[in-house]
Chains A and B, each alone.
Chain A
Amino acid sequence: EAQVTQNPRYLITVTGKKLTVTCSQNMNHEYMSWYRQDPGLGLRQIYYSMNVEVTDKGDVPEGYKVSRKEKRNFPLILESPSPNQTSLYFCASTTVGTGKNSPLHFGNGTRLTVT
């Protein structure tokens, strides 16, 4: 089954404790991206990657890191989480072949709480 898999689904942590949220897709998609969803703000892009070893900042990259060492994986790293990073996070992927016509495929989300 074609899917984007995120782990964990729920995560509670304390300020300053490094964490990683994993994302993996099995559709051989070149493009992967991370979003955060907050009430009243919709989805905002954190980072994206057009292919292996190619990453770029989205609209709200501060406090986050990513890496793309393999095509299927795109982990999100919070090196020193703060309470304002409490949010619902989504990983998404798509092919670049059809350009702007390609819909995004989303994971089921990771709800992060930083105390």
Chain B
Amino acid sequence: GNSVTQMEGPVTLSEEAFLTINCTYTATGYPSLFWYVQYPGEGLQLLLKATKADDKGSNKGFEATYRKETTSFHLEKGSVQVSDSAVYFCALSGGYQKVTFGTGTKLQVIP
């Protein structure tokens, strides 16, 4: 079956630091890949997505590239802000809306 593995947290960074959250996946076929963000007390919301190999998703300064050769979809941001503190989930969809989530990575950004 499909699976998603993302790095354990929590990740603590100083403001303006560079962020990488690793995500690798196992899937049959050609899934779509997503990053969702969960702010405290809220539901998950879509951060970015990529639907085919070599696609780059981007939003709010975050980026992730769909790497089929390494089955990865790492999330990056060049300069994090305190307001980026949240839990980040990597996810894949293999069709029929069957979505597999990673366990989530908590990011804390300190001033």
Contacts and interface: CB of A to CB of B under 8 A. Distances in A.
Interface of A: 4, 31, 33, 40-43, 45, 48, 50, 90, 92, 94, 96, 99-104, 106-109
A33 B43 CA distance: 14
Contacts of B96: 50, 99-100
A41 B104 CA distance: 8
Contact of A4 (B32, B43, B51, B93): B43
A52 B78 CA distance: 44
Interface of B: 31-32, 34, 36, 41-46, 49, 51, 89, 93-99, 101-104
Residue of B94, B97, B103 ringed by the most chain A CB atoms within 10 A: B97
Contacts, number: 60
Contact of B103 (A41, A48, A99, A103): A41
A99 B99 CA distance: 11
Contacts of B103: 40-42
B90 to A, nearest CB: 9
B51 A101 contact: yes
A100 B50 CA distance: 11
Contacts of B31: 100
Contacts of B32: 100-101
B41 A108 contact: yes
A31 B95 CA distance: 12
Contacts of A103: 34, 36, 46, 49
A42 B104 CA distance: 6
A42 B89 contact: yes
